[in-house]
């Protein structure tokens, strides 16, 4: 069986039985959690497909390892390989202090235009959680990954750029009066586009329809930021009604029906749409949504939101189901097929090479990767074996500290335990 590249065709990804997948093992605890994750991924694929399928891993350099070997944090060759092979997986990377690159993760996302940051948030029985009913949280967050205040357009306090921008805002746009302390103000710009919002919301709706989920919630702060966050909501409703007319019912349609035909008719239409199994598109203001995450998480399945909201929401939601030690993530461009699956935690440098940290975040990112490749059987095998291992209370230090009567395992032992629990 010769190893081949994953390619993008007119009908989507072409996944060979022996694909070459680049990996970045990451800094700090990266090598420990990567080696455990790789062990489990390979074992599941071997068990489920009996040798018919196999991943050929190809290391690419990034982070401290790259810097020590090449003098560069993110060598151009690494980016070229990630671009060429489409699908890759990575451990956490140190954010270099000083120098040209603000964050290697942000650089990768921007270079490959990975416009969706996908974060499933789901509880596994037995995982210690601060909430009473963690099983009620089961949602998938689509965070816009390329725009918003994260675009990095900032001008510091007391700089000529800030001064120039202040003059422009005052003289050209008449907005000077809105700036409370003009002499000591720093500026950040928040670009949000119709194109960027639409491709993110389209991906979320397609995902919800493919997975037969009940709703997509547009989370925004449109009551305050009308032309960016507010427009995100409006563009979302318009897109849903235009491109998915036969499959969705939106709160925007409900509002219109209420205005023109009265509330009873509007409610009846909504009920009918639900009974027909239509996908409901709704919206919630971001601050309220953070409250709803704790009060009624059951009401949400797919969430589409802008970059900064998505950052807060992903971590807050992950906390309900066990935190960053177990929350997986992916950065995806559904149009080109490019995808980088990654642990959501950082490099935890204090614990580097201790073989003690939880590999679940990176492992479950690998499970997402298998799903993305259509290797659902192997993905399911790992998820079930991980759940069994946690239920048996055989866990790494983070969960051990929060459980009664648990058995403490090293990172590598946890991986061996997961493999032992695998069934087909």
Shortest spacing between CB 356 and ligand NAD, in angstroms: 8
Distance of alpha carbon 8 from alpha carbon 63, whole angstroms: 28
Query: For ligand NAD, which stretch binds (CB under 6 A), given 132-140, 175-183, 274-282, 356-364?
Result: 356-364
Shortest spacing between CB 29 and ligand NAD, in angstroms: 6
- Using the rule CB under 6 A, which residue among 55, 61, 87, 93 binds ligand NAD? 93
Q: What are the C-alpha distances in Å from 27 to residues 96, 210, 360?
A: 11, 36, 17
Query: For ligand NAD, which stretch binds (CB under 6 A), given 87-95, 149-157, 289-297, 380-388?
Result: 87-95
Per CB under 6 A, which of residues 203..242 are in contact with ligand NAD? none
Query: For ligand NAD, which stretch binds (CB under 6 A), given 12-20, 71-79, 235-243, 339-347?
Result: 339-347
Element (H, E) at 85: helix 76-85
Distance of CA 7 to the CA centre of its chain: 23
- Using the rule CB under 6 A, which residue among 357, 367, 386, 415 binds ligand NAD? 357
Shortest spacing between CB 231 and ligand NAD, in angstroms: 29
Per CB under 6 A, which of residues 14..33 are in contact with ligand NAD? 29, 33
Identify the active-site residue in 38, 221, 233, 282.
221
Distance of alpha carbon 91 from alpha carbon 347, whole angstroms: 8
If one asks whether residue 358 binds ligand NAD (CB under 6 A), the answer comes out as yes
Closer by beta carbon to ligand NAD, 91 or else 236: 91
Closer by beta carbon to ligand NAD, 283 or else 398: 398
Distance of alpha carbon 69 from alpha carbon 423, whole angstroms: 41
Strands 154-155 and 187-188: antiparallel
- 20, β-bridge pairs: 56
Place of tokens 């151009």: 76
Cα angle 304, 24, 21 (rounded to 5 degrees) comes to 80
Closer by beta carbon to ligand NAD, 216 or else 318: 318
Residue pair 287/308 in contact (Cβ under 8 Å)? The answer is: no
How many Cβ atoms sit within 10 Å of the Cβ of residue 130? 12
Residue ranges with strand state E in 357-396: 394-395
Closer by beta carbon to ligand NAD, 281 or else 357: 357
Identify the active-site residue in 150, 207, 237, 334.
150
Identify the active-site residue in 311, 334, 372, 398.
311
Place of tokens 């239920």: 391
Per-residue mark of binding to ligand NAD, 365-404 (x: CB under 6 A): ---------------------------------x------
Shortest spacing between CB 39 and ligand NAD, in angstroms: 16
Cα angle 73, 346, 37 (rounded to 5 degrees) comes to 95
- Using the rule CB under 6 A, which residue among 25, 144, 147, 342 binds ligand NAD? 342
Give the residue from 364, 375, 215 showing the smallest Cα distance to 284: 215
Q: Mark whether 372 is an active-site residue.
A: no
Shortest spacing between CB 246 and ligand NAD, in angstroms: 39
If one asks whether residue 92 binds ligand NAD (CB under 6 A), the answer comes out as yes
Shortest spacing between CB 56 and ligand NAD, in angstroms: 24
Distance of alpha carbon 78 from alpha carbon 121, whole angstroms: 30
Q: Mark whether 148 is an active-site residue.
A: no
Closer by beta carbon to ligand NAD, 33 or else 319: 33
Residue nearest to ligand NAD (CB): 346
Distance of alpha carbon 171 from alpha carbon 186, whole angstroms: 18
Q: Mark whether 195 is an active-site residue.
A: no
Distance of alpha carbon 356 from alpha carbon 411, whole angstroms: 5
Give the residue from 223, 216, 189 showing the smallest Cα distance to 202: 216
Give the residue from 413, 392, 388, 384 showing the smallest Cα distance to 44: 384
Residues lying near ligand NAD in the complex (CB under 6 A) are found at: 29, 33, 92-95, 105, 324-325, 342, 345-348, 357-358, 361, 398
Catalytic residues: 150, 221, 287, 311
């Amino acid at each position: 069986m010769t190893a081949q590249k994953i390619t993008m065709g007119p009908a989507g990804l072409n996944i060979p039985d022996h694909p070459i997948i680049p990996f970045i093992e990451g800094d700090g605890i990266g090598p420990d959690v990567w080696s455990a994750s790789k062990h489990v991924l390979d074992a599941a694929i071997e068990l489920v497909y009996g040798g018919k399928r196999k991943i050929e891993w190809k290391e690419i350099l990034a982070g401290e390892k790259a810097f020590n070997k090449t003098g560069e944090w993110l060598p151009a060759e690494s980016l070229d390989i990630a671009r060429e092979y489409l699908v890759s997986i990575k451990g956490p990377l140190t954010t270099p202090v000083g120098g040209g690159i603000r964050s290697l993760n942000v650089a990768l996302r921007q270079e490959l235009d990975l416009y969706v940051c996908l974060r499933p948030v789901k509880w596994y029985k037995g995982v210690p959680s601060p909430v009473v009913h963690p099983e009620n949280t089961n949602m998938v967050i689509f965070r816009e990954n390329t725009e918003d205040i994260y675009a990095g357009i900032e001008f510091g306090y007391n700089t000529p750029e800030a001064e120039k921008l202040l003059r422009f805002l005052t003289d050209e746009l008449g907005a000077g009066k809105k700036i409370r302390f003009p002499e000591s103000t720093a500026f950040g710009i928040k670009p949000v586009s119709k194109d960027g919002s639409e491709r993110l919301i389209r991906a979320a709706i397609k995902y919800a329809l493919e997975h037969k989920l009940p709703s997509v919630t547009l989370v925004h702060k449109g009551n305050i930021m009308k032309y960016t966050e507010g427009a995100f909501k409006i563009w979302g409703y318009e897109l849903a009604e235009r491109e998915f007319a036969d499959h969705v019912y939106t709160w925007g349609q409900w509002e219109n029906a209420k205005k023109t035909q009265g509330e009873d008719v509007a409610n009846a239409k909504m009920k009918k749409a639900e009974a027909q199994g239509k996908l409901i598109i709704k919206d919630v203001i971001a601050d309220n949504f953070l409250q709803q995450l704790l009060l009624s998480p059951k009401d949400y399945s797919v969430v589409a939101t802008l970059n900064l909201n998505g950052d807060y929401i992903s971590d807050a939601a992950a906390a309900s189901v066990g935190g960053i030690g177990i929350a997986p993530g992916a950065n995806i461009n559904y149009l080109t097929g490019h995808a980088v699956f990654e642990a959501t935690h950082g490099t935890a440098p204090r614990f580097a090479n201790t073989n003690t940290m939880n590999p679940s975040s990176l492992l479950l990112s690998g499970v997402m990767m298998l799903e993305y490749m259509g290797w659902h059987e192997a993905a399911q095998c790992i998820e079930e074996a991980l759940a069994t291992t946690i239920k048996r209370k055989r866990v790494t230090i983070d969960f051990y500290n929060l459980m009664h009567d648990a058995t403490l395992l090293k990172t590598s032992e946890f991986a061996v335990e997961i493999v032992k629990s695998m069934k087909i």
